[in-house]
Every structure is written in structure tokens, then in C-alpha cells.
Amino acid sequence: MTTASLAAGTLSLLAPVASAAPCDPWPPAGIGGGSGSLGGSSGGSIGAPGRPATPWHDGGSGYIPVLEGRTTTVELLTGPTSPNNTVERFGIWGTDLGIMWENGGAGGEDQVHMALGDTMGDCDEPGDQWRSNILFRSGDRTLHDGMRIDNAPMERTGMAKSILPRSNMPGETTVIPTAGVEVGGVQYLRYMSVERWGTPGEWTTNYSALARSADNGDNWQPVSGTARRGTAPMPLPAELGEEFTRHTDGQMSAFLKHEGFIYEYLTPSGRSGSARLARVPEADIEDMDAYEYWTGTGWSDEHRDARPVLGAPTVNTAVSELSVTYSEHLDRFIALYNNRQNNIVMAQAETPWGPWSGEDIVVSYSQVPTLYGAFVHPWSPAVETDGEDLYYTMSTWDAYNVFLMRTDLSDIPPRNVPNPNARMRTTDDSWTRNTPDPADTGETVLVERRSLPGA
């Protein structure tokens, strides 16, 4: 943990609709809490029933959860006191998510791109300087002392722009990125159009679609023909053309590049679904007819044949805010996600389709009850090399900002893959069991809740 980091802590903006105003007073009328693009664990999503808020704006204070042990808090990446100075540089007081991927050297520089969700600036300004989403770029490979943000696509000096603005069509509250990947120097985002935020952990989507950027993330265009319809009835924006299909199980995504394929893990809107798996050759990422879906025994070109790989009753519980990568340290694929108990957990597998292991808690709900989202940094030593440290982002709805976290994978109990050819059952259940909460065992300790200043 870096104490210094923790302590230092021509596009017009669209006016926010009433159901998504991040600067509303705290707490929202009739609600016990909750803010965040993908949902607060305790008070619901960014508007259960539709009114996000930040406690520090109204005289309260969000806090930095200072963890030590197996998992540590590295720094506050965004917001007041962040060493990245996002308030002055980018007009960002509050934001969330932090979905990361490598840009493949686009623009002549190796960078990690970070997509963030609903973003607010100065709450005293008309419209709160609210944006549906923003993008950061970073070339920082030295993560033990934090992650420096190099730049962002800008609307003007001191104001990062919304890279995928809302359409302003009736029935659309916001547009949230859920996954990013680079193919052939082009950046791709999967994003969801949110109709409304509902009860805690639930929301309704109009559709999910791809957007592309050929200039290292500065400008983005929706890709026609890639929309998967959700349950809401809003017509598609004209630039998306005709919907590809109705696919309510495919509204949120996580991308994995592996052996010439893009693997796409699909979950429904909300936080209580299972993850299904699709794949497509990298060069065909924009061709929805080229996707095939894991059936449990093989691949089908029909998404209705897909079966859960994570989150089914016999696999784990529920999957939300999913991030998947390959770990050189473990020599396995790893998935980070929020489970039904709202812990951030890790599962392992030898192939992208599994079978996936039981869960290891990396951040406990009991220590950070306002957490959500966990997105792996692709330059983590445990990802790129045999190093032990896994870095990832985490959001909390009360601070309504993004943290950089670190987990030492050498402290995760080893798991042995069952031998399917064994003649006799063994007593080794290390692959399937869920390990104890490190908050209960003392492997991770909450040292302090360090208050953030009021806005």
C-alpha cells in the first residue's frame, strides 16, 4: 500500500435526465443509499429507483477503504485527493467502473485504455457536467505505487468528453461501457443502453451493441448490425441499423483474446444472472453471424443453445461486472466478478469454457459493503509474467470513484484440477470448494476508512 498515494488523494454536454443526476442530494428521497453505473451493493443502482447520489456532495463523506494483507488498497484513481488530479485535469469529481484493455500500440504507443461509466464534474455547474462515459489512457507499467493517467479524449481543456453520448431518445437514461478489446489497431467497446435503474442490483436495457475507434479512442462510432435487443421497447438509433437479434442474456460482456479468437462472456442486465460464452475470429468481430456459442459440449451458431459457464447453480452463484484474462502466474484463465453475496471473487479454469473452479474472495463485502466491479489490469505481473501481484480496479457507491487494488496470488490456496480418468473418487475437493473469507481468517485486514473531502 502506498500511503502517499492514498492520502494525496466541440461536443456539448448533454443535460442529465431527472432519473440520472449524479449530483442529487444525499440520500435520495425514499432510498437508503446507492450510486454507481452498475449498482450499489447496499442502496441499489445509480437510481434505485433512479436517483444516483454521492454522499460527499451534500456534506457527507465517502471514504477510502484501506486494506492490508492478501489484498491491499493501492490508491484512489479518480476524484478528490487522487494523485491523478482528475478534478482539475478532466473535470471529474465522481465516476466508476474502470474497464481496462491493451490498445495494441495504436497511435504509436503501448497504452492501457480504461473505460468509465456515468461521470460527474462540478455539481455547482448547470447540468453537473454529467457525462455518460469517459476514456482514460495510461502507459504506466509500475503499478505498485499507483497508476498514472496520461490523457483522455477531451471536449475542451479541463473537461474529458463523453465518448459514447446518450442518444437523447425517450427511454434511454444512459449508455454504459461493459467491455473493451483491440483488434488490428482498432479499439472496440461493448456497451449497453440503459432504459432505467430498478430495484437494488437490477436494471433494464434497451440493447447492447459494439462501437469502434480507429484513432486510439478519441472518436467512436456504433457498428451497424451489432445490436442485441434487451427487454425495453426503445427503437434503435439509426446508426445501429436493424437489430441482429433479441438476446436478453447478452446485454453485458467481458472480452478475452486467445489463440486468434475473441471470447465474449455474456451476462444479462442486472446482478443475478449467469455468464454464457461466445467466440468469434478476431478479424470477424463486427460480423455477428460469425459468432458461435458454447453449448456445454461444443459450439453452436445459435445463441439460444448457449449454456452457462459461470453462475449456474452447480458452478457458482451469480456473476456480475465480469473480467476474464489469462494468468501466467497460475498458468490458468482467471475471472473476477461480483457474486451473489457481493464479494469480489476469483475463479480459475484451464480453458475459456471451463470447468471453472470454486470462488476465492479477493475483496470481502464485510469489509467494503459498498463495493462493485472488478476489472483486471492487463499489465499486472501475475498476468504478464510469473509475478504474484494481480492489480484491478474497484468502485464503491459511496465514494463514487475508482480504486486500484492489489491481490497477492501466491496467498490464494492452490487448486488441483480433478482427473476425469481417475478410477476412484478422491478427497481432494480443492477445485470445487469456495475458500474461506479472508476477512474472517485475518488474511486481509481493514485498517482504516479514510474520509474523502466534501465536494
Q: Where do the domains of the chain lie?
A: 3-416+425-451
Give me the pLDDT at residue 137, please: 98
Give me the pLDDT at residue 55, please: 53
CB 453 within 8 A of CB 401: no
pLDDT tens-digit readout, 318-367: 899 999 999 999 999 999 999 989 999 999 999 999 999 999 999 999 99
pLDDT tens-digit readout, 51-87: 344 555 555 567 899 999 999 999 999 998 999 999 9
Q: How many Cα atoms within 13 Å fall on the side-chain side of residue 228?
A: 24
The rounded distance, in Å, linking the Cα atoms of 176 and 196 is 12
pLDDT tens-digit readout, 241-284: 999 999 999 999 999 999 999 999 999 999 889 999 999 999 99
| More confident position, 389 or 59 | 389
Give me the pLDDT at residue 16, please: 29
For residues 395, 398, 401 and 402, what is the CA-based torsion angle, rounded to 10 degrees?
Answer: -20
The rounded distance, in Å, linking the Cα atoms of 447 and 455 is 25
Element (H, E) at 391: strand 389-396
| More confident position, 182 or 22 | 182
* Predicted structure pTM score: 0.91
The rounded distance, in Å, linking the Cα atoms of 294 and 290 is 14
Give me the pLDDT at residue 57, please: 52
| More confident position, 12 or 370 | 370
Mean pLDDT of the chain: 87
Q: Which of 320, 224, 212, 203 is nearest to 265 (CA)?
A: 320
Q: Which of 158, 72, 152 is nearest to 114 (CA)?
A: 152
The rounded distance, in Å, linking the Cα atoms of 336 and 323 is 5
Report residue 184 CA to chain centroid gap.
23
- The mean pLDDT of 421-427, rounded to a whole number, is 67
CB 238 within 8 A of CB 172: no
Give me the pLDDT at residue 200, please: 79
pLDDT band at 31 (very low <50, low <70, confident <90, very high): very low
What residue type is assigned to position 263 of the chain?
Y
pLDDT tens-digit readout, 143-169: 999 999 999 999 999 999 999 998 889
Checking if the pLDDT of 32 tops 50, the result is no
The rounded distance, in Å, linking the Cα atoms of 405 and 265 is 23
Give me the pLDDT at residue 123, please: 77
Give me the pLDDT at residue 60, please: 57
Give me the pLDDT at residue 117, please: 95
**3-416+425-451 fold:** Tachylectin-2; Chain A (2.115.10)
Give me the pLDDT at residue 278, please: 98
Checking if the pLDDT of 425 tops 90, the result is no
pLDDT band at 426 (very low <50, low <70, confident <90, very high): low
Q: How many CB atoms lie within 10 A of CB 61?
A: 17
Checking if the pLDDT of 45 tops 60, the result is no
Please, which residues bridge with residue 130 across strands?
A: none
pLDDT tens-digit readout, 177-230: 999 999 999 999 999 999 998 887 889 999 999 999 999 999 999 999 999 999
